[in-house]
Structure 1
């Protein structure tokens, strides 16, 4: 996630870090080259093939249609991004609620240890979910928060968050059987555990159901063909302004395409993806403060204005 202070509009015109220019600069240079070539060959083309010369009107119609298409695609991508953000916001709320509910447990002489076990399990659940969504190694984060028997079991599992959630459910069910929780308290806690499971499932659904690949291929081909043909149509009408106008139009379309690609997979590590590292730390910090426990690990820091 890009973290930058608010700048004056004039300074925003020259921002490099945090923009998509580094991702599309090569394609923009290609469009600029084609634009210059189109202007240089304009006289020859008009003289030898005047009947097949392109003009602006067809590109106007194509541009409107393409803009609508890109807008629809970006809306779909942002809907996935926003749903993922809501799920992680719900995860934070559910974690706080669970710790608050468990705070009323009366375990004879072992309440601090019991609460700490719950807090560590909740934190481990968030970190395990992050690593599963990013398909990264969770062993270090889980080793800090889980005891050895459970850690060994979790490391062998394909769906680590669910194993942690089951262990947490077993821990709380044992407390209920021992009379530390009333039936009403246990029912409320069980609903919160269900919310954690639902959140995990919703995030897995988003991560495992990308926008169809053929849709992405169609967008990339359409945008590139349009941007490459546009200079040929502009050269016959505006001459040496073609490189400027064609490159600017290409920047708009290509930037929209890249932004849509980045936010359609919200759990990744690209600049515009969700800052899951920071969210996991926030969840752990929040639940640890509720029971007076120490936070394990350091808070993620933004590098080059990007928070992961």
Structure 2
């Protein structure tokens, strides 16, 4: 995730970064410019269409369709940002649950060995969830330490919560925990998998395919028809105008595509690895 000063807005105008949409759209921008130039030349010099031609009424259609496409893009970007923000809320909840779980265990447990187990297990869940959501390889250090084979288990966060639950009930059998202690601790333990499930829901449920395809087609045909009507009033200035309109519309769609999947490694994705590292530091301080 990119960290920046939101008040230093003037410098953003002249700053390009890796996630800037201009870099990704540059080949298409060149193509749109060439296409607009060809259309302008054909209308003005080859077909020699006059200002009285019916083609000049096309901007009226663009004005009506522009309102529709703006509503669609507003809905698209809002939906994508809701997914990004929901992911951030879930990871914020994971930070709070991890801290609360550690604080309660710190007050209840008396033996150092038991505290060390949870000092490793709680941060390991955050780190495992981060890798799980990114479909990256997950190490089995904690599982191997306790002689548990999970090589054939696909869902590592489930296994970690199972491991912590098993440890708690083992402490209960050793009379190190009471039934009241387990009830006191259970909400935080349950929240781990609730948060994991919510993040998986965001990751595995993209925007409906038909809606995404329709919006892309709409933008494409809208931009492709722009030069036909604006040539008579703008001449060859149609080329930069069409390029600018395409850049704005396509950039909004690209931004929405990037932020609707907040658990990747893109610059605008959530800093889940950093949050997991902060959880580790907090738990080590508490336990």
TM-score by length of 1: 0.85
Between the aligned partners of 1:203 and 1:185, the Cα distance in structure 2 is: 29
Work out whether 1:120 is the aligned partner of 2:127. Answer: no
Between the aligned partners of 1:50 and 1:219, the Cα distance in structure 2 is: 30
Match of 1:230 in 2: 226
Cα offset, 1:53, TM superposition: 4.8
Between the aligned partners of 1:11 and 1:267, the Cα distance in structure 2 is: 28
Between the aligned partners of 1:248 and 1:187, the Cα distance in structure 2 is: 60
- 3-state SS of 2:236 partner: helix
Q: CA 1:224 to 1:186, structure 2 compared with 1: closer, same or farther past 3 Å? A: same
Contact 2:109–2:115, Cα closer than 8 Å, also in 1: no
Match of 1:249 in 2: 245
Match of 1:278 in 2: 274
Contact 2:143–2:149, Cα closer than 8 Å, also in 1: no
Cα offset, 1:218, TM superposition: 1.3
Between the aligned partners of 2:43 and 2:147, the Cα distance in structure 1 is: 70
Between the aligned partners of 1:116 and 1:198, the Cα distance in structure 2 is: 25
Q: CA 1:150 to 1:157, structure 2 compared with 1: closer, same or farther past 3 Å? A: farther
Q: Number of aligned pairs?
A: 284
Work out whether 1:89 is the aligned partner of 2:109. Answer: no
Match of 1:63 in 2: 66
Task: Note the 1:185-196 alignment, pairs <5 A.
Answer: 185-196=181-192
- 3-state SS of 2:153 partner: coil
| Deviation digits for residues 21-53 of structure 1 (CA, Å, limit 9, x no counterpart) | 112122222222222222222323443893445
Match of 2:4 in 1: 4
Q: CA 1:192 to 1:10, structure 2 compared with 1: closer, same or farther past 3 Å? A: closer
| Deviation digits for residues 87-131 of structure 1 (CA, Å, limit 9, x no counterpart) | 111011000011101002344xxx222112102111111122122
| Deviation digits for residues 118-176 of structure 1 (CA, Å, limit 9, x no counterpart) | 0211111112212221111112xx42xx1515575233211110111011011112212
List runs of 5+ in structure 1 lacking aligned partners.
292-308
List runs of 5+ in structure 2 lacking aligned partners.
none
Between the aligned partners of 1:96 and 1:7, the Cα distance in structure 2 is: 32
Residue 206 (structure 1) aligned to one of 186, 202, 209: 202
Between the aligned partners of 1:285 and 1:29, the Cα distance in structure 2 is: 49
Between the aligned partners of 2:57 and 2:273, the Cα distance in structure 1 is: 51
Cα offset, 1:231, TM superposition: 2.2
Q: CA 1:45 to 1:272, structure 2 compared with 1: closer, same or farther past 3 Å? A: farther
Work out whether 1:100 is the aligned partner of 2:103. Answer: yes
TM-score by length of 2: 0.91
Q: CA 1:98 to 1:8, structure 2 compared with 1: closer, same or farther past 3 Å? A: closer
